[in-house]
Amino acid sequence: MTRFRLLAAVAAALLVASCGRRAPEPNVDRTTRKALAVQAKATLGILPEKMPGAETDTPELVALGKRLYFEKRLSVNGTQSCNDCHRLDGEHPSGADGERTSGGAMGRKGTRNSPSVKNAGYHVAQFWDGRARTLEEQAAGPLLNPVEMAMPDAAAVETALRAAPEYREPFAAAFPGEPEPISLPNTAHALAAFERTLRTHDRLDDFLNGDLDALSHREAAGLQLFLKTGCTTCHNSPTIGANQYQLLGLVKAWETKDEGRFAVTKNEEDRRKFKVPSLRNAVSTGPYFHDGSVDRLDDAVKKMAWHQLGKELTGDEIASIVAFLGALADRGVPVSPPAPSPKGAPR
Ligand code: HEC
Ligand code: HEC
């Protein structure tokens, strides 16, 4: 056999082998799609255009929050802004950082994976254990957290901002009539107002809003499976998660040293319970889980089915669910950091 023939034979054998294993491509017809959209809408609901509380956020408040979000002087040594762990700019504006766990301003690693800031304003509470109720309450956390931005106290944050002349006007405009608008609570409020603008837009929105062709056949089959397998007992509501706490390892035990919500409530029944994460844009927020222990989305789906539902999914089923999660990819454009201060002005 010539070398070419040998190669061709090997290629043909591989092709046959791979075709033999693969289930036929799914085909979800129009009638089924209609029913699927009705069912998904009933289980998940439509993501509202505005987040709760956004009604009273003025453009001045949002603009200030955006500036603060990218402000490195809010960390102890001027090296880190919110955007370092929750990227909104560049090639991967996922609102997370792509790390297992995040490194802080002083180079120390935390123990938890950085969740996306996108859609966080829709969540029942903030953090994996829900220890902050609102975005406002959350925002002050990282500034003072020793393994994050590590500012020593509220006064240090206020001193840093008051020393920057270019912040006087934006704070005064965002908090009109206040004698000293530059404060930690106002900083947190402005950051929260900016975060309330960070809504994802994806093809599931389009599908639920009546565009029945917004999902490919494979994605529609994935949505069917997602509903049928029981993922929606925990990942439901328009954010597809983020509205409740659930035990990690409900059916089959899951190894973790993290006590989860127990650390907040001290109720024994909350041990190893975590906020069910939103699956909107999960395709770009890996690594996955509270400790970032799983790199790939297909592995995350497989583990979820096994540990949370006691089900063993086939490779084809996993591929369909992962394809559906792909339809939840945010098509939002990156947010650019505000222009630096004019040349010569203090930074
Ligand atoms: C050093 C990295 C780091 C920095 C800097 C940082 N964060 Fe985070 N952020 C995290 C991690 C890690 C978590 C999860 C911690 C946990 O759940 O215990 C988190 C959680 C959050 C959450 C909760 C999201 C959810 O789904 O529960 C929001 C909102 C958030 N951060 C916003 C901010 C803002 C605003 C700033 C700037 C003031 C900021 N972060 C700075 C790493 C960081
Ligand atoms: C009994 C509740 C429950 C069920 C059922 C469930 N999940 Fe989860 N899911 C969770 C919890 C809780 C977490 C977060 C665990 C942690 O803290 O690491 C999670 C995390 C995830 C993650 C990681 C997201 C991230 O940002 O880190 C994915 C992906 C996921 N689930 C997909 C699924 C799929 C697909 C199904 C159905 C096969 C499913 N889940 C079923 C509760 C559940």
Distance CA 30, CA 326 (A): 21
188 falls within a domain: yes
> Is 136 found in the same domain as 216?
no
Q: What angle do CA 27, 223, 255 make, to 5 degrees?
A: 130
What is the percent of the chain where pLDDT is above 70? 91
Range from 32-46, 77-91, 215-229, 233-247 carrying the lowest mean pLDDT: 77-91
> Is 190 found in the same domain as 60?
yes
> Is 140 found in the same domain as 213?
no
> Is 131 found in the same domain as 68?
yes
From 174, 195, 216, give the residue that closes a domain.
Answer: 195
- Is the beta carbon of 143 within 6 A of some atom in ligand 1? yes
> Is 134 found in the same domain as 188?
yes
- Alpha carbon of 142 to ligand 1 centroid (Å): 6
246-285 tens-digit pLDDT: 999 999 999 999 999 999 999 999 999 999 999 999 999 9
**Which of these, 151, 187, 160, 163, lies nearest to 76 by C-alpha position?**
151
> Is 187 found in the same domain as 59?
yes
Instruction: Look at residue 164 and give its three-state secondary structure.
Output: coil
297 falls within a domain: yes
Residue of 136, 148, 158, 195 marked active site: 148
If you count them, how many residues does the chain have? 347
Positive or negative CA dihedral for 205, 210, 211, 214?
Answer: positive
**Of all protein residues, whose CA lies closest to atom 18 belonging to ligand 2?**
289
> Is 249 found in the same domain as 168?
no
Three-class HEC string of 120-139: HHHCCCECCCCCECCHHHHH
Task: Note the ligand closest to the C-alpha atom of 69.
Answer: 1
- Alpha carbon of 93 to ligand 2 centroid (Å): 22
- Is the beta carbon of 230 within 6 A of some atom in ligand 2? yes
163 falls within a domain: yes
Q: Is 136 a catalytic residue?
A: no
> Is 132 found in the same domain as 189?
yes
- Alpha carbon of 146 to ligand 2 centroid (Å): 29
Burial class (CB in 10 A: 0-12, 13-18, 19+), 55: exposed
From 149, 168, 195, give the residue that closes a domain.
Answer: 195
Tell which one of 129, 233, 276 to mutate to probe ligand 2, the residue whose CB is within 8 A of the most ligand atoms.
Answer: 276
Q: Which residues contact 179 (CB under 8 A, 6 or more apart)?
A: none
**Which of these, 243, 223, 221, lies nearest to 231 by C-alpha position?**
223
- Is the beta carbon of 301 within 6 A of some atom in ligand 2? yes
Q: Is the pTM of this model over 0.85?
A: yes
**Cβ pair 287, 294 in contact under 8 A:** yes
- Is the beta carbon of 245 within 6 A of some atom in ligand 2? no
Mean pLDDT calculated for residue range 311-318: 98
- As for how many domains the chain has, the answer is 2
Q: Which domain holds residue 229?
A: 30-47+201-326
- Is the beta carbon of 246 within 6 A of some atom in ligand 2? yes
For residue 272, give the DSSP letter.
T
For residue 57, give the DSSP letter.
-
> Is 59 found in the same domain as 179?
yes
Query: How many Å separate Cα 104 from the centre of its chain?
Result: 19
> Is 123 found in the same domain as 66?
yes
Range from 77-81, 236-240, 299-303 carrying the lowest mean pLDDT: 77-81
> Is 63 found in the same domain as 115?
yes
